[in-house]
Amino acid sequence: MNGKPRILVTRRTFDEVLSDLRRDFEVEDRQHEARPLDAALLKSRLADKDGVMLAPGEVLDASMLAAAPRLKVVAVAAVGYNTVDVAACTARGVLVTHTPDVLNNTTADMAWALMLAAARRITEAERWLRAGQWQGINFGEMWGVDVHHATLGILGLGRIGRAIARRAAGFDMEVIYHSRRRVDAEIEAETRASHVGFDELLARSDFLMLILPYTPQSHHLIGAAALARMKASAILVNVARGGIVDDAALIDALRNRRIAGAGLDVYEGEPALHRGFLELDNVVLSPHLGSATAATRLAMARLAARNLRAALTGGVPPTPVNRVG
């Protein structure tokens, strides 16, 4: 055994990131494991580690922390860190870091991909075509709705929300947003987004994009009551987190055409999926791919590694979530 700090990288990552980390650390990796670590295994693996690089959505709770006496840093390779008990980490003096900014444009592209696919019924039409149903162009078939000149509503005008809003200029859309705190006037001007109340956002959006953090306050923010206030022609897009939407209520609204459609990248309890979604044609489903391009995943892994290294070698981690001693 050598004297280097020990770190765990919980999921397959880039070889170059691992080799770089190996210069300073004894690294336990999962390069040849297809399956994610389950909670019990993660807990046992953390027992002798000084640092861990977590993948998006991996849970690190107070009981795991208690079983990891040497742990000094939790570097989440994601912007969202809702599955990490940050309060427990702070109380124990464990630094938590994440990877903001490097994924803004990639995630905004994904939000737009889902919006356009839902509006133009791309996945439904492809299933139909693959099933051999297409008999030639029929003027009255597979009508979608226009994205251009429609009203884009954004719930949460943070870093990714702004990147989503900026793209709307090319589609001549009106952009409205709601967030707990109104953003600076320069950001509103740059994104051409007007602040409205939550109810007005629901009532006016032709496309409603959810891009806010998952917190106790945002849990089921989009449930039956909110869905009932949306236009019957509206399309909902969620690239934020499962749990912000009440999936059972959304399925009911989609089934009954209370709203027209949805594009979803995230789900309550993912990777489990509410079976009801699979029976519906008016929803486009993707498996949490918001930041999934090679370039962006590399940038995220590198940033998570920089955070780890800095935290364990007396440097200044570039993107901390909490402040510790």
Active site residues: 241, 270, 288
Provide the minimum distance between the beta carbon of 79 and ligand GLV in the complex, in angstroms, as a whole number: 4
Provide the minimum distance between the beta carbon of 98 and ligand GLV in the complex, in angstroms, as a whole number: 8
Sorted by sequence, the CB contacts under 8 Å of residue 232 that are 6+ apart come out as 257, 258, 259, 260
- Scanning residues 1 to 60, which ones bind ligand GLV (CB under 6 A)? 56
- Scanning residues 273 to 312, which ones bind ligand GLV (CB under 6 A)? 290-291
Question: Is 234 or 296 the residue whose CB approaches ligand GLV more closely?
Answer: 296
Provide the minimum distance between the beta carbon of 99 and ligand GLV in the complex, in angstroms, as a whole number: 7
Question: Is 147 or 303 the residue whose CB approaches ligand GLV more closely?
Answer: 303
Neighbours of 255 (CB within 10 A): 13
Question: Is 80 or 243 the residue whose CB approaches ligand GLV more closely?
Answer: 80
- Scanning residues 62 to 91, which ones bind ligand GLV (CB under 6 A)? 78-80
- Alpha carbon separation from 85 to 29, 59, 71, 321 (Å, rounded): 23, 8, 14, 11
Site string for ligand GLV, 103-142 (x = CB under 6 A): x---------------------------------------
Own/partner pairs, 218-226, CB within 8 angstroms, 24+ separation? 218/243, 218/244, 219/243, 219/244, 220/244, 220/245, 220/246, 220/249, 221/155, 221/245, 222/246, 222/249, 222/250, 223/249, 224/249, 224/252, 224/253, 226/202
Tokens of 109: 């592209």
Provide the minimum distance between the beta carbon of 31 and ligand GLV in the complex, in angstroms, as a whole number: 21
- Scanning residues 89 to 108, which ones bind ligand GLV (CB under 6 A)? 103
Return the closest-CA partner of residue 209 out of 235, 233, 191, 187.
235
Question: Is 111 or 234 the residue whose CB approaches ligand GLV more closely?
Answer: 111
- Scanning residues 164 to 203, which ones bind ligand GLV (CB under 6 A)? none
* Residue 131: burial class (beta carbons within 10 Å; 0-12, 13-18, 19+): exposed
Question: Is 50 or 58 the residue whose CB approaches ligand GLV more closely?
Answer: 58
Provide the minimum distance between the beta carbon of 60 and ligand GLV in the complex, in angstroms, as a whole number: 14
**Gap between the Cα atoms of 108 and 313, Å rounded:** 34
* Site residues, ligand GLV (CB under 6 A): 56, 78-80, 103, 290-291
